[in-house]
Structure 1
Amino acid sequence: MEALLTGERVRLTLLDDHDIDHMTKWYNKTDYARHLDALPAKPKRAEDLRKWRDEAHEHDSHFLFAIKEADQFIGFVELDGILWTQQNAWLTIGIGDPDMYGKGYGSEAMELLIQFAFHELNLHRLQLTVFEYNNAARRLYEKLGFVHEGSHREFILRDGQAYDMLLYGLLRKDWNQKTQG
C-alpha cells in the first residue's frame, strides 16, 4: 500500500530531530532566511525549531511535513492558520539546500500538499505570500495554478530597496480543473 504523501521522487514525512538539526544550518544562510521571513535574517536555535514543530503537531489547524528525497531531508512544507469554518489555509515551503533548487522537488512536494489539503482535509482555498524578489518561488506558484491576487506595496525593505509582498491564492475547483483536465 502506498503511503499517504508519496510522489514519484519525494515523500512528505514527520519532521524529526535530525531534520531540525539540518534546518539550523540553513538559517545561517542569509538568502534562505530572507526568502521565508520578513524579520531580519538570523540563526535559529534547534530548540526553537523543535518548539515550532511540536506546536504544529499539537494543533488541528497546523500540518507540518519534512520533504524527503529517498532518505535525504531537503525541506519542509506546511499548512497553517487553517480556518475550518471557511475551509482555507496558509501554505509555506522551504527548501534549504541550493543543490536541490530547480530540480522539481519543490513542485512535487507542493502538489502532494495541495492534494492533501483539498482532498484529505476538504479545504476550499489555499493562500500564500511571497516577496517580489523571489522569482523562482513565484514561477513555481504560478505553474501550480496559484493566482496573484494582490500586493502589499513596498512591504519589505532589504539592502536599501523596497519590495512588494505578493498574495497568491488557489481554489479547489481551479486545482481540480488543472489536474483533471
Structure 2
Amino acid sequence: MEGLDLHLRPWRVSDLEEMARWHVSGATWRRFDAPYLPPASAAAMVEQVRAWLLRPPAVAESLVVADSDSDRLLGRVWRYWQCRDSRWLSTGVVLYDPTYWHRGLGYQALGLWCEHLFTVMTDLRRLDLRTWSGNPAMMRLAARLGFVEEGRFRRAREVDGVHYDALAYGVLREEWRSRYPAGFAQALTRRVPDSTVLAAP
C-alpha cells in the first residue's frame, strides 16, 4: 500500500531489532501512546511479531509503516476486534521516531490501513479507534479521516496526577465509502502536514 512518503508492508525478521530499539523506557512516543496503561515490553512485542511471521493471519493484524525511500521502519498500524459477531473492529497507528511527526504521515498510514481493512474484510461494518484528550493530534487525525466522536468518558484517564478524558471514534463502512468513493489513495494528491503523533490502543 503506497502513500506519498511511506508505504505499508508486512513485517520482516530484519524489523525486529529496530522495533525493539524503540520499545524502551522513556521513549518519546510512549508519552502519547496510552501512558495510563502498563507499556508492552520490547520482548513481548518482538515475540508477537515473530508469531505473525511464523503463522501469518489471513488478514494482517499489523503492518509496518515504512519510509518510501529507505524502507526503514517508522512505526506500525494494527487492528483488534471489539466484537466479532457485529463485525466491529478497532484500529490504530504509531510513529516511533519524533523526527517524522508533523508531516502528514499518520494521516497517510492510517488512511491506507482503514481502506485496506474495509476492502479485504468485506463484511466489516465499522472501524473505531481509541485515544485520550492528552493526545490532541490523534483527535485531529480521527476527524480528518472522517471518524466521528462517539464516546467521551470524562476524567477517565490519569497521567502524572492529571485526569484526562478517554475518547472513542468510529466510522461506518458506508461513511468511509462516501468520503473516499475512489479509495483513500486517490485522496492523496498533495502533501498536507498534520500533527499526528499516534493512536492509543
> TM bucket by the smaller chain?
0.7 to 0.9
* Structure 2: runs of 5+ lacking an equivalent: 183-201
Question: Structure 2 residue aligned with 1:63, among 61, 64, 74?
Answer: 61
Q: Which residue of 2 aligns with 1:126?
A: 127
More helix by share: 1
Once the two structures are TM-superposed, the CA of residue 151 in structure 1 deviates from its matched residue by 1.6
Q: Which residue of 2 aligns with 1:33?
A: 30
Q: Cα gap change, 1:130/1:64 in structure 2, threshold over 3 Å: closer, same or farther? A: same
Q: How far apart, CA to CA, are the structure 1 residues paired with 2:153 and 2:20?
A: 29
Once the two structures are TM-superposed, the CA of residue 17 in structure 1 deviates from its matched residue by 3.3
> Counterparts of 1:122-161 in structure 2 under 5 Å?
122=122, 123-161=124-162
8 Å contact kept, 1:62–1:80: no
8 Å contact kept, 2:59–2:120: no
Q: Cα gap change, 1:55/1:164 in structure 2, threshold over 3 Å: closer, same or farther? A: farther
Question: What count of residue pairs does the alignment treat as equivalent?
Answer: 175
Once the two structures are TM-superposed, the CA of residue 35 in structure 1 deviates from its matched residue by 2.1
Q: Which residue of 1 aligns with 2:96?
A: 96
More contact order relative to length (CA 8 Å, sep ≥ 6) = 2
Q: How far apart, CA to CA, are the structure 1 residues paired with 2:99 and 2:159?
A: 25
* Structure 1: runs of 5+ lacking an equivalent: none
8 Å contact kept, 1:62–1:81: no
TM-score (norm 1): 0.85
Deviations 1:16-50 (A, max 9, x none): 233232223323334422322332457x23x3112
Q: How far apart, CA to CA, are the structure 2 residues paired with 1:151 and 1:62?
A: 29
Q: Secondary structure at the residue paired with 1:180? A: coil
Once the two structures are TM-superposed, the CA of residue 169 in structure 1 deviates from its matched residue by 0.5
Q: Please report the RMSD computed on the Cα atoms of aligned residues, expressed in angstroms.
A: 2.2
Deviations 1:75-108 (A, max 9, x none): 1001112644322211011100111111111111
8 Å contact kept, 1:30–1:41: no
Q: Secondary structure at the residue paired with 2:115? A: helix
Percent of aligned pairs sharing the same letter: 25
8 Å contact kept, 2:20–2:46: no
Q: How far apart, CA to CA, are the structure 2 residues paired with 1:138 and 1:101?
A: 15
More strand by share: 1
Q: How far apart, CA to CA, are the structure 1 residues paired with 2:94 and 2:120?
A: 22
Q: Which residue of 1 aligns with 2:199?
A: none
8 Å contact kept, 1:61–1:82: no
TM-score (norm 2): 0.77
Once the two structures are TM-superposed, the CA of residue 54 in structure 1 deviates from its matched residue by 3.7
